Chains A and B, each alone.
Chain A
Amino acid sequence: MKYLTDIGGYAIMVVDLFKKPTKWRIMKDLILKEIDELIFGSLGIVVFISFFIGAVVSIQTAMNLTSDLIPKNLIGFATRQSIILEFAPTFCSVIMAGKVGSFITSSIGTMRVTEQIDALEVMGVNALNYLVFPKIIAMMLYPFIIAVAMYVGIFGGWFAGVFGGFITSADFVEGVTLDFIPFHITYSFIKTFVFAFLLATIPSYHGFYMKGGALEVGKASTTSFVWTSVVIIITNYILTQLLLT
């Protein structure tokens, strides 16, 4: 029953946050601030993770190519496919659910606990629009992070493959360009846009409607991470079924 209440509450929140928009003069600054915090603030961790994930995928693929009949360029091919289709959009989004999601829940939750949200509402401000809408707009730049993650992940694969002595640079590059299907990039970015919306709204819901004090802010952050990850994983399955089959 509680889950149904939460789903209904989330849907109402999504509708309400578009009502009574904040002045553009103020909204513009809020969006830029959120872009700085949510997008540029996440680049470091995404680049770091992508590089090493790409490297590990490359090494593991190489280690499993035991037959001489299988061409070495498969390492580049497998790295590209893994990174573009799953690791960059989905794996990074789960990481972002922890990094960005916890930040959103705790910052909005703290505002709730310290009555800052009440202060906004007393003034007649649509607190949802003021707090959540800029985050959604900022997160629409999330595909930029994922594009970087794709490049860095493949570079990590190349680095580990070539400098680990598993493959030549020419073979890896040949594998990366082999049988390239442009729609896979489109599919990946469609997923990313959907994940971006989820990453901005689910943690906001958990922060905005939390009750209690500082301890509950911590609990809300954890719950928010769990639910954002779960919804991302389920949405990933549904979108893959719809777009790739």
Chain B
Amino acid sequence: MIEVDNIHKSFDDAHILKGVTTTFDTGKTNLIIGQSGSGKTVFLKCLLGLFKPTEGTICYDGKRYSELTAAEQRDLRQEMGMVFQGSALFDGKTVEGNVMFPLEMFTKQSKSEMQDRVDMVLKRVNLVDANHKFPSEISGGMQKRVAIARAIVMNPKYLFCDEPNSGLDPRTAIVIDNLIKEITEEYEITTVINTHDMNSVMEIGEKILFLKDGLKEWEGTKHEIFKTDNKAVTDFVYSSELFKKVRQMYIEERN
């Protein structure tokens, strides 16, 4: 579980996060949504420890990040997995090399133990016969799978994903969403996903946090988002004709 209490973050004069308080539960897919510039990425980077909050605290299963020593913070980082928007795979390493990288860096496993673990994880993300290919030789969807495999290879307790569906076709996007959800439940991970994709919200949003201008505007589940009367949320979620119709159908069904 990740508990966020009154997080503020400023860059020079720009006050990006203005006091966000929320909780992300273990074993659930938690989504952060909001318009561009709402502070989603800064919030995610604060959760990752890449940005130090100007004010407020973040607790990871009761451990307050700001009170940990540098060594303890490093250890905690190794319990985090991250899937970046552009996958952020290392160009000079093969698929296998990318997934093996955290094991090589942080474990004392033998080559064969690492190989077994990599094979298992790649199989889990349904990626076979691509071990020796370089990131530039595989599709965007496959790159996302490799990024997920790399993020979970160390058995993380926390998984963070920044726009995991960007640049993917709708079908592949759903496959990636479901893969993240399955992994979250299977490994009992606290997953936090930063997304714009409303399909993801409807598909896997067990808890949704809506940010607006650096503040928590709304939070709830994917079922509650249909019922909310919060104008900012409805304007954002139902901005497309398709979702307007979906909501209309939902309201008519309810009446």
Which residues does A use to contact B, with CB under 8 Å? Answer: 20, 22-23, 25-26, 110-111, 114-116, 118-119, 121-125
Contacts and interface: CB of A to CB of B under 8 A. Distances in A.
B77 interface: yes
Contacts of B89: 116
B102 A115 contact: no
Nearest to B101: A123
Contacts of A20: 74
B105 A122 contact: no
A119 B160 CA distance: 12
Contacts of A119: 82, 84, 88, 90
Q: Is the interface of B mostly helix, strand, loop or mixed?
A: mixed
Measured as residues with beta carbon below 8 angstroms from the partner, the interface class of chain B is 20 to 34
Contacts of B90: 116, 119
B234 interface: no
Contacts of B74: 20, 124
B106 interface: yes
B104 A122 contact: no
Given A123-B77, A123-B78, A124-B74, A118 B84 contact: yes
Contacts of A118: 50, 82, 84, 88
B91 A116 contact: yes
Given A116-B91, A119-B88, A122-B48, A26 B82 contact: no
B88 A116 contact: yes
Contacts of A26: 104-105
A124 B78 contact: yes
Interface string B55-95: 00000000000000000001101101010111011110000
A110 B136 CA distance: 14
A115 B77 contact: no
Contacts of B85: 115
B50 A122 contact: yes
A68 B221 CA distance: 97
Nearest to A26: B104
5 contacts: A111-B91, A115-B84, A115-B86, A122-B82, A123-B105
A114 B48 contact: no
Contacts of A122: 48-50, 77, 80, 82, 160
A115 B161 CA distance: 13
